[in-house]
Structures are given as C-alpha cells and as structure tokens.
Homo-oligomer: A and B are copies of this chain.
Amino acid sequence: VKVTRELRGHHRAAIIAAAARLFRERGVEGVGVAEITRAAGLTHGAFYGHFASKEALLAESLAEALRVSCEQLSASGDLAAYAEGYASHAHLRAPGSGCPIATLATEVARQGPQVRTAFAQGTRKFFDIAGTMEGDRTSAVTCLAQLVGAMVIARAVDETDPALASEVLACCTTKQPVARRD
C-alpha cells in the first residue's frame, strides 16, 4: 500500500510526535514500537521504513521535544514568566507535552551515544537561550536546575504527598533570590 511522498512525510512526523508524547508520559521502556506506530495511525511493520531502530526514534523525538521547549522558552520572553508556567500543576499533570528534561533525563543517561548527543545538544541550546534572556547566565542555570529538580520530585511524590509536591513547586515561583526577576 504505497502512499504519496507527502503522506509518507506526514506519517514520519506523526510517529515522531506520538513518540515524543508517549516517551515523556511513560518512559522509554514503558512504551513499545507497536503502540507508538498505532498512535500515529500505522501498524508496527511500517516503523522500520522510517527509522533504523527504536533508539534512533528516541534520538529524533528528543531533539524535536527540546526544539519545542526552546521555542516556548524564547516565546515566554522572561525567565521568571517561563518558570511560573513550568512550576505549575498544569505542567505537572501534562508530562506528555511538558519539559523532556524532567521526564527523560535519567533514562537518557543510560542510552547510547546517538541519544545522549541529541539530548545534550538540545539541552545546551535550551540553557544558552535562558542565559541570553536572563543576562546573568549563572542565575539562569541555577533557575533551570531548580525547575527541573522541583518537577522531578513533585511528580514522584504528588499522588502520595501532594502537599510536599506543591511545596517544592512553590519554591520556584515565590520571591526567592534565584527565581526573582523584578
């Protein structure tokens, strides 16, 4: 069932989009190639016509998710404004469309070079943008590290100890020395 070149391109993009969401929601090992292709409206057999392996798809979907994150950061205009959206319950509840660093960084550390390189490049760009926006690069880096850590911790404890989750997130947006802007 050959399809148009244009449709083939859409299929490829759909697989990457589905993977970027599902990997963030369930982790790399928590979702399979079959489920990703199904979410993209295809069957698993079509997968290897688009990607060399599951790992290659992971690398591409990480790059895509980080590219979007960089866009969102740039669009927010102000690091404090970005932090407010980041350290929110809306973001906590929507990992599939949220920061890929907070959802996938620990798994990335155990992947092959292709994945780690894609992740590191996207993350560096993300930090560079934040540093330029903030002016003081050190405080920008500090802020981002805090945001990522707070979200990672909050998501892990939220269902059992929502008070702790809220407390950790709140530290990122209240008039703290680091995240303060005005």
Contacts and interface: CB of A to CB of B under 8 A. Distances in A.
A145 B174 contact: no
A101 interface: yes
Contact of A155 (B106, B121, B174): B106
Contact of A157 (B124, B146, B149): B124
A117 interface: yes
Contacts of A29: 27, 29-30
B138 A27 contact: no
Interface in A152-182: 152-153, 155-161, 164, 167-168, 171-172, 174, 176-178
Interface of A: 26-27, 29-30, 101-110, 113, 116-117, 119-121, 123-124, 127, 138-139, 141-142, 144-150, 152-153, 155-161, 164, 167-168, 171-172, 174, 176-178
